[in-house]
Amino acid sequence: MNVHPLKIGGLTTPNNILLAPLAGYTNAVFRRMCARLGAGLTFTEMVSAKGLCYDNEKTKDLLFVTPDYEGVKACQLFGSDPEIMRRAAESVHLAPFDLIDINMGCPMPKIYNNGEGSALMAKPELAAKIISACKKSGKNVSVKFRVGLEKGKIIAAEFAKVCEGAGADLITVHGRTRDKIYAGEVDCAAIAKAKSAVKIPVIANGGVFCKADADRLLNETGADGVCVARGAMFSPWIFAELSGMPKPDVKRLILTQIDDTLELFGERFACVFMRKMCAFYIKGLSGAAALRTRLFACASVEELKETVSNIEF
């Protein structure tokens, strides 16, 4: 793929390969690891604007960035009230962040039925007000959305214009409709129309699990970069593949992630979270089902590390 720096408003990223916000996964350790592997931009998990305004501790925890993270700091916010979104964007909690990404693509019922995430695509005037409100913070703003809400109602190009008109500095388009969640083919033609409709950078998202997937997505959409989501959960070393860096020693990488997660989040979280991550990492290996059973039987971090040490990646 054509790897190059990406200009987002007043920011410039090292490259145009992005790690998507992934609820429950893109914590500080995972983001730092992906950045070191070659991701040009990483986002926090989606953060509730209301939670920040009401000083919710669990919400604030999602914003933690390791002191040695050297990349552009980006936070993804979700909400449907322009004033609350503005207050969150201007809050002290987001002071360390260079970029605010507004979630207008989440398809999950809990978010959608509350009028947030992809539900905002049905309300372009409200969506524009939210973007404009966040821009008042003085920060660079991006928007992530889908090609539409359902088959036969593809509105990616029109919504892209709404975002640009409201002041967005970049958009990321997920190539599936809301009703498909994460299943089905990516609509490259719809992303291409969004790209043609605006002058701001457009990032293509959906179905990237290897370099061939990224190449196809860029070739068929003309997008300015790619955003990797579930592909990073199964193999974060995909960023090394896409950016042209050498593939890391996978076993050493995982063991380091376990140690770093333990140091930052403690034994209980590290054991539960890394069992789940390791189950993703072994996909495709011989005897993966039996390995998965062994991983989830681990009752401590040390036991988990011993199990991982005996896996041939």
Tell me the catalytic residues: 106
Q: How far is CA 30 from CA 16, 97, 103, 261, in A?
A: 19, 17, 20, 9
The encoded tokens of residue 133 equal: 């409100």
Q: How many CA atoms lie within 13 A of 222 on its CB side?
A: 12
Q: What is the DSSP letter of 236?
A: T
Q: Are 35 and 92 in contact (CB under 8 A)?
A: no
Helix-helix angle 124-135:156-166, to 10 degrees? 30
CB atoms within 10 A of CB 269: 14
State whether residue 162 is helix, strand or coil: helix
Q: Are 32 and 240 in contact (CB under 8 A)?
A: no
Q: Give dist(CA 269, CA 291) in Å, integer.
A: 21
Write down the residue that tokens 């995430």 correspond to. 117
Q: Give dist(CA 144, CA 204) in Å, integer.
A: 10
Sign of the Cα torsion 89, 93, 98, 100 reads negative
The encoded tokens of residue 132 equal: 């404009």
Q: Are 101 and 76 in contact (CB under 8 A)?
A: yes
Q: Are 88 and 77 in contact (CB under 8 A)?
A: yes
Q: Give dist(CA 102, CA 77) in Å, integer.
A: 5
Q: Give dist(CA 78, CA 61) in Å, integer.
A: 16
